Structure 1
Amino acid sequence: MAANASRCVAIAMEVAAKVRLDPTRSNAAIDLMLKAAVASADARRLVREAHEALAGLRDEVGLVTSYGDCDEGQKVFGIPLLSAVS
């Protein structure tokens, strides 16, 4: 999602320049799109950090295994996990 949002920002900027849209009219929308792309990338990073913290906690309390470990084959609500958190 972060990559798609970033592509959308780039396309919006290119189109705005191509049609010579007044920057005062397009900047607010493009800024919001950019903030969304950054938030998406931040969310992905935070989920990764949370999993690392949980793995450390699992090791600290001596659990043999834990449920909900993330791997590429896992799905959340039928959606591949890496898509769900990105």
Structure 2
Amino acid sequence: MVAMSQWTDQPTNVKPIVDVWKVEFRIKMIEKWIASKDEIELCIRKVREGERGKEIMRNAVRWKELAKEAMDEDGSSYKNIDEFVAKLS
């Protein structure tokens, strides 16, 4: 993922993606709300070709597997949804 957060909730949304999940590059701005095409291209190349890109892919696969586990019948998300529905009915 390559992100260019600019206003309102976007910087907040990008924070866990970059610092916790580590599945993204953040584009550096030239000035407020403006990024160069070279910077965008560089970030895309890093994700697709670089060593950091391989790390991002490993992290993305890891989070995908964790999400699948959470949605399995014994997973935390499945149990939470089941509990929520039970409280509603």
TM-score w.r.t. structure 2 length?
0.33
Larger radius of gyration between Structure 1 and Structure 2: 1
